[in-house]
Amino acid sequence: MGYFRGLIHGIALGTLAGLALAPQPGDRTRAQMREAAKGVKGGIETTGRAVQRVAPAVGPVAGSAVQIVTTRVRRRRPEDEGVSSYTGNGATAGTDTTA
């Protein structure tokens, strides 16, 4: 959490410093920022439309792929590969730690 807070603060301070030290008048900088925002908005809208068109075809395939991978991972045992799988919580992959 601390990393992301620092990242956001750094971005904000960097933006403010960049605007304060800009080599052109503020009106011109604001106009450029408005144009950039319009471009970003247009890109987001285009991406949203593309996702809506592709989602009906990709959704079922993605769901099937997730189900297949989940099934295969659950069936796999660490001793089958000769490599110990450590999950970081004190349990090895494939073992259920819930009671």
Rounded Cα gap, residues 44 and 22, in angstroms = 27
Please give the model's pTM, rounded to 2 decimal places: 0.40
pLDDT of residue 14: 92
Domain layout of the chain by residue ranges: 25-74
pLDDT score of 84: 52
The pLDDT of residue 76: 75
| Secondary structure (DSSP) of the chain | -HHHHHHHHHHHHHHHHHHHT-SS-HHHHHHHHHHHHHHHHHHHHHHHHHHHHHHHHHHHHHHHHHHHHHHHHHH--HHHHTS--B-SSS-BTT-----
What's the pLDDT at 34? Answer: 92
Report the C-alpha gap between 83 and 92 in whole angstroms: 11
One digit per residue, the tens of pLDDT, for the chain of length 99 reads: 688 889 999 999 998 888 778 788 878 888 988 999 999 999 999 999 998 998 888 888 888 888 888 888 888 766 555 555 555 555 555 555 554
Cα–Cα distances (Å) from 33 to 16, 27, 29, 45, 56, in that order, read 13, 10, 6, 18, 36
Q: How far is residue 44's CA from residue 9's CA, in Å, rounded to a whole number?
A: 25
